[in-house]
Structure 1
Amino acid sequence: MSAVQQTDVVIIGAGPVGLFAVFECGMLKMRCHVIDALESTGGQCVAMYPEKPIFDIPGYPSIDAAALIHKLEEQAAPFSPTYHLGQQVEKLTQAGDRWLVETNTGTRIDTKVVIIAAGCGAFGPNRPPLDHLADYEGKSVFYLVKRREDFRGKRIVIAGGGDSALDWTISLADIAEKIYVIHRRPKFRGAPESVARMEALAKTGKVELVVPYQLHSLEGAGGQLSAVNVATMEGDVRRLDADTLLPFFGLAMNLGPIATWGLNLERSHITVNPQNCATSAPGIFAIGDIATYPGKLKLILCGFSEAAMAAHAAHPLLHPGEALHFEYSTSKGVPGS
């Protein structure tokens, strides 16, 4: 059995919100260990859409997801966090006013504070109910785009009506031969600006909106699509010549071991106090997409704010009786600056 390591804060999740929590804790002189089940930092940003542009990060009119993660790592680096990647937290055991965090690889960490920034927990795509779908997955059916260039010159069917479907329609329009957007109704759920940009592309003929239709069946051989058939609610079928299908129907969320830790849960999310992101267990906080409270917005920038609130709420647990004088980073600086 490995020796028990000690730290001030264990952050579960190395996505953008978890990485920013390292910075916020570091500014308050709290040491962090970061654990993530993926082999690299970045969470969904790197695992699912590294080249996807993000438009709502303050100060960046547009920044690719992978570039955002790089900047956040750079921002956290002065505080020397310890990363435990490729590991999943399996047990969380209370010992007095401290917690013992244990992973599936045998890592054991004694800590006063735990900040859960696990995003969607264990996540995977919601798959459309199509016959022989598995034959095409990873070859011509993809649930994420890791390299835009892989889709150059392709005839692409994008299915879905949310932000991912709209964002990738816009992003791939300038390199694809043709894009068909399939949705079961004329109204899309994405941001109004994205809907407007997609509709403008449709007027040029580069994008064709195929509504109201839904996926019906696939044609092809050896894992390579030749066509995607779509159908109306009345059963009228249309054949679309296609090389690639990108179904964007959201993620299936699975909390995994987190569900056994005795925290208050609501629909696979952890309920927190919106004033400080505290959970129902003392010393445990939840931030980012996994946390819920009235009025919650699932935005990265909101997760950044939650990271700051959780760090400030954690400080008196680590330094009882010590006054915390709020200072702006512009006056306080960071190590090495």
Structure 2
Amino acid sequence: MSEIQKTDVVVIGAGPTGLFAVFECGMLKMQCHVIDALDMIGGQCTALYPEKPIYDIPAHPSITGGELINKLEEQAAPFDPVYHLSQQVTKLEKQDDGSFELETNKGTKINAKAVIIAAGVGAFGPNRPPLEGLLQYEGTSVFYMVRKREDFRDKRVVIAGGGDSAVDWALSLADVAKSVQVVHRRPKFRAAPESVSQMKQLDEDGKIELVVPYQLEGLKGEGDQISAVVVKDFDGNTRDLEADILLPFYGLSQNLGPIADWGLELEKKHLNVDPTTMQTSEEGVFAVGDIITYQNKLKLILCGFSEAAMAARAAHAYAHPGEELHFEYSTSMGVPSE
């Protein structure tokens, strides 16, 4: 039987809002454990756009998703958060003393005085194309995200999809890859018009190739390395595209996962919260970021930061009833030195 770890707050989700919640809790002298289903912190910022610029973070005219997460991790570090990655919370139960016992799919058990859910869109994963033998190539020559474009230098890359991710990475990888071919089932792309225009210009200049209208049909290779991507047009004609890498960008499958079974009040797969405290329908359980809804809610990272600050203060009031909390600015409080 695994030992039950104890902490002040469990933060479910290690995306930008969850990481900032750790900082805000730390400033109130509350220790945090953080649980995330991914094998890395950062949520969608790390998984989907680590090298794409974000323009609406205050004081940063432009910052990449990866840089933002690095800064948030550094900001939270003085408070020694404990990360439990590659784990999903499967059980959340309120105890007689008002605390909460959580358990993950890997058997980790934690008792917390309060809980902050910062799970973004919930559990998410790639929509995989239905190709035979696909799994044997995943992680070595088939990837659903680009973390570092340098990983693809001098590689023959096939990109499949017609949305922003496919178009954006076609533009970015054209500078580093040996070749880039973009497979889409129709000539029209569902991406920003200016980006589509730039991609079509690269095609005309011979720097990339648009393979349209085609669909993925199969993969060829040995072991875990592909050598070609087989595509088929609507007349049944097939073509082999020589390739080292396949990047299928068909979006994400998203669901709340076990959160939907915790008895919390939901509205269209989002958690209802009190916008003044971020408390859910369960006293002591708070939620912030993209997973919540309230009147005029904006799905912006900067709004998530504000919600995290409010949730931390409300969580402190719940975890430490009767303890008066005087508001202080960070300039006068400072942060602990590591």
TM-score (norm 1): 0.81
Give distance in 2, aligned partners of 1:117 and 1:190.
28
Give distance in 1, aligned partners of 2:329 and 2:253.
39
Change (3 A) 1:284 1:214: farther
Query: Is contact 1:216–1:231 with CA below 8 Å preserved after alignment?
Result: no
Identical-pair percentage? 61
Residue 125 of structure 1 corresponds to 126
Residue 217 of structure 1 corresponds to 217
Residue 78 of structure 1 corresponds to 78
Residue 55 of structure 1 corresponds to 54
Q: Which runs of 4+ in 1 moved over 6 A?
A: none
Matched letter for residue 76 of structure 1: A
Q: Residue 215 of structure 2: SS of its match in structure 1?
A: strand
Query: Is contact 2:5–2:111 with CA below 8 Å preserved after alignment?
Result: yes
Matched letter for residue 229 of structure 1: V
Change (3 A) 1:278 1:145: same
Give distance in 1, aligned partners of 2:246 and 2:301.
28
Deviation at 1:329, TM superposition (A): 3.1
Change (3 A) 1:195 1:228: same
Query: Is contact 2:123–2:257 with CA below 8 Å preserved after alignment?
Result: yes
Q: Residue 206 of structure 1: SS of its match in structure 2?
A: coil
Residue 259 of structure 2 corresponds to 258
Change (3 A) 1:93 1:221: closer
Deviation at 1:4, TM superposition (A): 4.0
Give distance in 2, aligned partners of 1:298 and 1:237.
44
Matches within 5 A, 1:151-162: 151-162=152-163
Give distance in 2, aligned partners of 1:92 and 1:264.
15
Give distance in 2, aligned partners of 1:318 and 1:238.
63
Query: Is contact 2:131–2:219 with CA below 8 Å preserved after alignment?
Result: no
Residue 170 of structure 2 corresponds to 169
Change (3 A) 1:161 1:282: farther
Deviation at 1:334, TM superposition (A): 2.4
Q: Residue 128 of structure 2: SS of its match in structure 1?
A: coil
Residue 231 of structure 2 corresponds to 229
User: Deviation per CA, 1:19-44, whole angstroms, max 9, x where unpaired?
Assistant: 11101222233322222344543344
Give distance in 1, aligned partners of 2:63 and 2:159.
23
Query: Is contact 1:253–1:268 with CA below 8 Å preserved after alignment?
Result: no
Query: Is contact 1:148–1:172 with CA below 8 Å preserved after alignment?
Result: yes
Residue 239 of structure 1 corresponds to 239
Matched letter for residue 142 of structure 1: F
Deviation at 1:101, TM superposition (A): 2.0
Matches within 5 A, 1:182-331: 182-184=183-185, 188-191=189-192, 194-195=195-196, 197-199=198-200, 201-202=202-203, 204-211=205-212, 213-218=213-218, 220-222=220-222, 223-231=225-233, 235=235, 237=237, 239=239, 241-243=241-243, 244-266=245-267, 268-293=269-294, 296-320=297-321, 326-331=327-332
Q: Residue 128 of structure 1: SS of its match in structure 2?
A: coil
Where do 5+ consecutive residues of structure 1 fail to align?
Answer: none
Matched letter for residue 224 of structure 1: I
Change (3 A) 1:110 1:136: closer
Give distance in 2, aligned partners of 1:132 and 1:4.
41
Q: Residue 52 of structure 1: SS of its match in structure 2?
A: coil
Q: Residue 253 of structure 1: SS of its match in structure 2?
A: strand
User: Deviation per CA, 1:132-156, whole angstroms, max 9, x where unpaired?
Assistant: 5445444433212244233222332
Residue 89 of structure 1 corresponds to 89
Deviation at 1:11, TM superposition (A): 0.6
Matched letter for residue 51 of structure 2: K
Query: Is contact 2:54–2:65 with CA below 8 Å preserved after alignment?
Result: no
Deviation at 1:273, TM superposition (A): 4.0
Give distance in 1, aligned partners of 2:205 and 2:279.
50
User: Deviation per CA, 1:280-309, whole angstroms, max 9, x where unpaired?
Assistant: 211112223433456555544443333223
Where do 5+ consecutive residues of structure 2 fail to align?
Answer: none
Query: Is contact 1:53–1:62 with CA below 8 Å preserved after alignment?
Result: no
Give distance in 2, aligned partners of 1:25 and 1:316.
12
Give distance in 1, aligned partners of 2:58 and 2:171.
21
Deviation at 1:279, TM superposition (A): 1.9
Q: Residue 156 of structure 1: SS of its match in structure 2?
A: strand
Deviation at 1:190, TM superposition (A): 4.0
Query: Is contact 2:128–2:248 with CA below 8 Å preserved after alignment?
Result: yes
Give distance in 2, aligned partners of 1:329 and 1:309.
15
Q: How many residues align?
A: 333
Matched letter for residue 55 of structure 1: I
Deviation at 1:115, TM superposition (A): 0.7
Change (3 A) 1:315 1:221: closer
Give distance in 1, aligned partners of 2:6 and 2:139.
41
Residue 26 of structure 1 corresponds to 26
